[in-house]
Amino acid sequence: MAIITYSALVDKIRGSIGNVTFSRARWGEFVRYRTRPRDPRSDDQAQYRVWFSAAVAQWRDTMNDAEREAWNTLGDATTLYNSAPIPITRPGSTSRSASMPFSSNACRQ
């Protein structure tokens, strides 16, 4: 994975050029090879989707707001490093629970 450093000439980059895709996520910008999405629809994949849906349902239905906030606080306090190793800042991570709603339907797509 490449590490992007911005300068006076480049302040952001998004999209694909050839087989390379430039993108941005909560933790920052990244570059990856452009791949074709695939859905194997195997028995194993179906089982993993069931498990993931159950985990999402537990996060949504079993935990109360204080427990979810405690996990979000722990995630915000955890420092991640890229391959450089440079600490990764995660823009918007403090509002993650409000801006990233979880849905079991999202797991089935």
pLDDT digits over 4-42, tens only?
A: 677 888 788 888 888 888 888 877 788 888 888 788 889
2 has pLDDT over 70: no
- Tell me whether residue 2 is in a domain: no
- Tell me whether residue 98 is in a domain: yes
- Tell me whether residue 79 is in a domain: yes
Tell if the pTM clears 0.75, that is, is over it: no
pLDDT tens readout for residues 67-91: 989 988 998 888 888 888 888 766 5
What mean pLDDT do residues 97-106 have? Answer: 39
- Tell me whether residue 53 is in a domain: yes
pLDDT tens readout for residues 35-67: 887 888 899 999 999 999 999 998 899 999 999
- Tell me whether residue 32 is in a domain: no
DSSP code string of 62-101? IS-HHHHHHHHHHHHHS-EE-SS--EEP-TTGGGHHHHS-
- Tell me whether residue 15 is in a domain: no
Domain limits at 102?
40-107
- Tell me whether residue 30 is in a domain: no
**Domains held by the chain: number:** 1
Reference 37, options 57, 21, 53, 24; nearest CA is: 21
- Tell me whether residue 13 is in a domain: no
